[in-house]
Every structure is written in C-alpha cells, then in structure tokens.
Amino acid sequence: MDIFLYNTLSRTKERLVPLVPGQIGIYTCGPTVYNYAHIGNLRTFLFEDLLVRMLRLCGLNTTWVMNITDVGHLTSDEDQGDDKMAIAAQREGKDPWAIAEFYTQAFLSDIDQLNIARPGFLPRATDHIQEMIAINRTLEEKGYTYTTPEALYFDTSKFSDYGKLARLRLDELKVAARDDVNVDRGKRGPADFVLWFSNKPNHIMKWESPWGVGYPGWHIECSAMSMKYLGETFDIHCGGNDHINIHHTNEIAQSECCTGHTFANIWMHTAFLTLGRDKMSKSSGGFLTVKVLTDSGYDPLAYRYLCLQAHYRSELELKWIWDDESAKTGHAANLDTAAATLKRLYERVARADDEPLSIQVAFDAAVVDVFGALADDLNVPRAVGLLHSYDSPRLWRHFDAVLGLKLEERAVKTEEVAVDVPEDIQALVDERQAARKAKDFARSDVIRTQLAELGWELADTPQGAKVTRK
Ligand code: AMP
Ligand code: ZN
C-alpha cells in the first residue's frame, strides 16, 4: 500500500518513495538535555515513534536517528542569550557534562515509560564536534560564510533557496534589534546564523577550531549527525513546528550548500501540545513532566492514548488543572477519559481471540482498512476510531505494533470483566472516578445514587470501581 505523508516543503501530502527501495532513513531533532523533557516535547517524540512503527509495520527497514543536544542551544533559537546547558549547570551547581548525563538518562526513562521505541542511533552533539568543524570548513571554502570577532556565520544571502521551507522572504525579514547589546554588530543579515561561536574562553564546553576556541552553533549539530548516520540525502526529517522558521530552515541551508544536493526529501512537523491557552515551554518553568503525571496517579500510557486521539498536525489541548500552589500534581478531564478508555481496552483485549469482527468483514479487509488510515499521513485518530468500531481484540493486537499501548502485556484476565456492563453504566462509573480524582465528592455521590436507581451497585476495590447488578 502506498504511504502518503504531508511534506512541509511542498505543503501537500506526497507519496513516500524511499531513496533505497524497502528502506527509510529518518532523522528527528532530539531533546536539549538541560532539564526534564515536558510532555509537549514528548508529544513530538511520540508522534515520531508512531511514524517509525507504522513504516516498520509496512515492512520498510527503517533507521531512526535522534540526536541529543548537549551543547550550543542558546535561550533564543536566533543565537542570542546563553547556552542552555551553561545556565542549567549554574542553576544546579554541576558541570554541564554532569547535567547532560543526568537529563539524558531522565529522557530515556521518560520515553521508556511512554513506550516510545529507542531510536537506533542517539548521537550526542559533543561527540560530533569534528564532523561539525568539517562541514563549516567546506562552507567556508565554498564562500558561504564570514567571520566576526564573535563567531563564524552562515551568510544567508548566498543561498537563494533560503526561505523555501518556511516560505520566508529574506528581504521581508526585520533587521534584528541592533541596539540590543547581545546582538553581534558584525552580523550582516538578520537571518544569518552562527556556525561556530569563537572567542568563548570562559565557556566550560569548548573546543579548538580554525575560528578560535569555542563551541558549535545549534543548527550545525543536526546537519552533522543526520548526514553522518543517514547520508547526505535521506528520506524524512521531523520535529516540532516551532522549528520550521529557524532551526530546520538553517539546517537545510548549511547542508545543501555544503553538499550541493537535497538534504531531506520529506519534512514533517508536529503541532504543539497546549495547556489551556498557554503553549508549554521548557524555559518558562512550571511545566508538566512524566513524573508529574505519575505523581498525579496517571499511567503514562494514558497520556500516550490521549495523544493517539489527535492528528499530529492539530494542536492538542490538555485540560490540566494543578491541584495546589505547589504545582506538583494535578488532573485533566480528557486524560481521565483516556485512562478509562485504555483500561476498558485492556479488559476487552483479554477476551477470546476467535471473536468474530462485530461487523461482518474479514480480518484481512479490516487490516487494509485501518492501515489505509495510517498510510494517509499517519491518521492515527481515524485508525483508532476504526479499531473501536470493529471491536476485535485480534485487530487491536495487530495494530498495537503501531499504537504501542502494551495491549498484549496488560490484557486484564479477570472473571468480572466477563460480566457485561452496558456502555452508559460504564460511562457513569468512569465519570464518578474522574469526579473522585478531582476531589468532587458531591458529584461522585450523586453518580453513586444515580447508579443505584438504575439497579447497579458500586464497590471500590483495589483494582478500581466495580459495578454489579443489585
Ligand atoms: P527541545 O528539547 O527544546 O529541543 O525540544 C524537543 C522537541 O520538542 C522539538 O522537536 C520541539 O519542536 C518539540 N516541542 C517543544 N515544545 C513542544 C510542545 N509544547 N508540543 C509539542 N512539541 C514541542
Ligand atoms: Zn535539529
């Protein structure tokens, strides 16, 4: 079956044509390890995991590379401010290497908890400094750079295709605020960006280079690591949609000017996870991590299920409410619903394998149908909707290779689940659970009474609320 993916470059869905038949190379921008990943970052990584799983289920031999940014990412993506690693080192009284190691391990633990497969390659930026210097040298030899006492810059005016990903026009870009003391006065064009920060003797993470002792710009890291592991041209490059205008635009410029040919064929971008009206950002503090979810009593896979319900190009709002001022725990109605649905799914999947599909379609035809949704720009919400309508444990298990909900492992094999609880009754039970979680005990009591009136008795057991007929 053909796979169609939305390419930000062309703003259309394109048929995926692997560069090498049967194989896919995919690069995804990884975490900057100066803090815990927030669950918005993880939404993007989770989408990338779904994409890789879908490609693999389709039989494509997929090489997945995700970098670890452990140097050079400044507080502003436009080369201003301080290195995020240095700020974290100061905040925690450690050296940046220890910060990087600690948050890399935390990141790996987070992705494991969300059942995100480990990428085949997880290269660290600091292990690839020589590769970055080599690209910078080529760019310099080809005349794409200039230097100031502060840095080696990429001269965007030399690359006529500079705006092709973001649909930017260089002549429309505002000149950076020249009176800002942080702006390098030697920088020529507003979009020009740093390939190497020179003259940084006080920076702890620093290396010798032809442009002085210093450290690499952030964008060059991704060009160096992607091309090292996937070749000069590869199939798919992903990231959050905040990276279109600067980071990915700059990756394309420096890579294509260095090699003289296309960098990545398809560019895919995730929309943000939002908390109410606030976009979630790691640098603004008060962000939601996997640990906050688990401390609040949530199964991380409930968050995974919630993410499956929104298309990756649509924003997803988590209706999160912090429990108190200390902001250590909280709850969200849509996450409660996701948790309840997932729990029911574990019970459903435990039932007989040989159950016929609820609507009369053969297994193979149903597989084609669900796969059709996945192959249509990874329409996971539609695939999940179809799976619910087929209501077949076997089909769910088959597609769990993509969904990653651990359906097999967690299938609940209890007698009680064999008792059929009508959907409307179960919905009330779930709503009561959510009310209890939100400490809305008045609402919870009202629901209990309502259930009693409908002839159902409710008991709270260590395995959760159970209803039986009176
Ligand atoms: P960072 O660790 O800041 O480099 O970000 C890692 C990834 O998370 C990047 O691909 C970002 O585009 C993405 N990202 C950042 N914030 C969000 C958000 N709120 N929702 C979804 N993805 C995000
Ligand atoms: Zn990147």
Domain count, the chain: 3
> Considering every ligand atom, which ligand is closest to the CA of 27?
2
385 and 453 assigned to the same domain: no
Relative to the CA of 41, which ligand 1 atom is closest?
8
Distance 28 CA to ligand 2 centre (A): 7
The arithmetic mean of pLDDT across residues 112-129, rounded, is: 97
> Considering every ligand atom, which ligand is closest to the CA of 240?
1
The pLDDT score that the predictor gives to residue 285 is 43
Distance 27 CA to ligand 2 centre (A): 8
Q: Assess whether pLDDT exceeds 80 at residue 75.
A: no
pLDDT band at 118 (very low <50, low <70, confident <90, very high): very high
Residues with CB under 6 A from ligand 1: 29, 31-32, 40-41, 43-44, 69, 239-240, 242-243, 270, 272-273, 279-280, 282
With helix as H, strand as E and coil as C, how does 335-376 read?
A: HHHHHHHHHHHHHHHCCCCCCCCCCCCCHHHHHHHHHHHHHE
Tokens 């492992």 belong to: 409
58 and 120 assigned to the same domain: yes
253 and 335 assigned to the same domain: no
The pLDDT score that the predictor gives to residue 59 is 96
pLDDT band at 417 (very low <50, low <70, confident <90, very high): very low
Is the model more confident about 423 or about 340?
340
Its domain, for residue 423, covers 419-469
Distance 84 CA to ligand 1 centre (A): 15
103 and 206 assigned to the same domain: yes
> Where is the domain boundary, 270, 289, 317?
270
Cα 7 to Cα 164: distance, rounded to the nearest angstrom: 12
Q: Assess whether pLDDT exceeds 70 at residue 95.
A: yes
- Summarised one tens digit per residue, pLDDT across range 143-197 is 999 999 999 999 999 999 999 999 987 777 655 444 444 678 889 998 999 999 9
452 and 387 assigned to the same domain: no
Asked which of 183-192, 270-279, 316-325, 371-380 is least confident by mean pLDDT, the reply is 270-279
Is the model more confident about 378 or about 94?
378
DSSP for residue 174: P
> Where is the domain boundary, 416, 434, 452?
416
Pair type for strands 264-270 and 234-240: parallel
pLDDT band at 463 (very low <50, low <70, confident <90, very high): low
The pLDDT score that the predictor gives to residue 129 is 97
Asked which of 71-75, 180-184, 403-407 is least confident by mean pLDDT, the reply is 180-184
> Considering every ligand atom, which ligand is closest to the CA of 317?
1
Q: Assess whether pLDDT exceeds 90 at residue 93.
A: no
Relative to the CA of 69, which ligand 1 atom is closest?
4
The pLDDT score that the predictor gives to residue 416 is 47
Q: Look at ligand 1, atom 9, and give the residue with the nearest C-alpha.
A: 240
Over the Cα atoms of the chain, what is R_g?
25
Q: How far are the Cα atoms of 33, 425, 440, 446 from residue 452, in angstroms, in the given order?
A: 52, 11, 19, 10
99 and 215 assigned to the same domain: yes
Q: How far are the Cα atoms of 1, 137, 273, 290 from residue 302, in angstroms, in the given order?
A: 30, 48, 15, 11
> Considering every ligand atom, which ligand is closest to the CA of 36?
1
The pLDDT score that the predictor gives to residue 278 is 54
The pLDDT score that the predictor gives to residue 438 is 85
Of 41, 108, 238, the residue with max ligand 1 atoms within 8 A of its CB, to mutate for a pocket test, comes to: 41
Of 8, 27, 44, the residue with max ligand 1 atoms within 8 A of its CB, to mutate for a pocket test, comes to: 44
185 and 291 assigned to the same domain: no
Amino acid at 354: D
The pLDDT score that the predictor gives to residue 355 is 59
In CATH, what number is assigned to the domain containing residue 225? 3.40.50.620
Q: Assess whether pLDDT exceeds 70 at residue 99.
A: yes
Q: Assess whether pLDDT exceeds 50 at residue 323.
A: yes
The arithmetic mean of pLDDT across residues 371-379, rounded, is: 98
The arithmetic mean of pLDDT across residues 7-32, rounded, is: 97
> Considering every ligand atom, which ligand is closest to the CA of 85?
1
Q: Assess whether pLDDT exceeds 80 at residue 77.
A: no
Relative to the CA of 238, which ligand 1 atom is closest?
10
Query: Tokens for 130?
Result: 């020589």
383 and 439 assigned to the same domain: no
Distance 49 CA to ligand 2 centre (A): 16
Q: Look at ligand 1, atom 7, and give the residue with the nearest C-alpha.
A: 41
The pLDDT score that the predictor gives to residue 120 is 97
428 and 397 assigned to the same domain: no
Is the model more confident about 80 or about 248?
248
325 and 428 assigned to the same domain: no
> Where is the domain boundary, 376, 394, 416?
416
Of 242, 243, 287, the residue with max ligand 1 atoms within 8 A of its CB, to mutate for a pocket test, comes to: 242
- Summarised one tens digit per residue, pLDDT across range 27-54 is 999 999 988 999 999 999 999 999 999 9
59 and 198 assigned to the same domain: yes
Relative to the CA of 242, which ligand 1 atom is closest?
12
Query: Rounded mean pLDDT of the chain?
Result: 89
The pLDDT score that the predictor gives to residue 277 is 55
111 and 66 assigned to the same domain: yes
Helices (H) and strands (E) in the chain, counts: 15, 17
Q: Look at ligand 1, atom 8, and give the residue with the nearest C-alpha.
A: 41
